[in-house]
Amino acid sequence: MPGGGFVRLPGGSVVVALTLPRPSGEGGDVRVLVHAANRARALTRLRNLGMRAVYLRGNAQPPTPDEITAVLHHPDGLLWRGAPDGAAELWHPIRALLGR
């Protein structure tokens, strides 16, 4: 299972980061960030978008401070970019990944 993790923010909400295979089947992984009230709601947001087999097991790869800042400043609170070497790539809204 791909890695992931979460960080609880001072206000009580969480930022969940998951490294998942590309849904389009192109190969490679993507790093997905979700801001939600709790971990269960964050995973539900992804499942509602069609990513059915998304689970968070452990906290091996929590979001970095830069990732937390990016997702908190996005109106949807749901971003992605290529992983693991996507540090030079900008963050994209989730609809760009899912082709909506």
Q: What is the DSSP pairing of strand 29-36 with strand 4-8?
A: unpaired
The pTM of this model reads 0.86
- At 17-62, the pLDDT tens digits run 998 887 766 778 889 999 999 999 999 998 888 887 788 888 889 9
* Residue 54 in tokens: 């998304």
- H/E element, 32: strand 29-36
Range ranked top by mean pLDDT from 4-8, 47-51, 53-57, 87-91:
4-8
Backbone angles phi, psi at 7, to 5 degrees: -135, 130
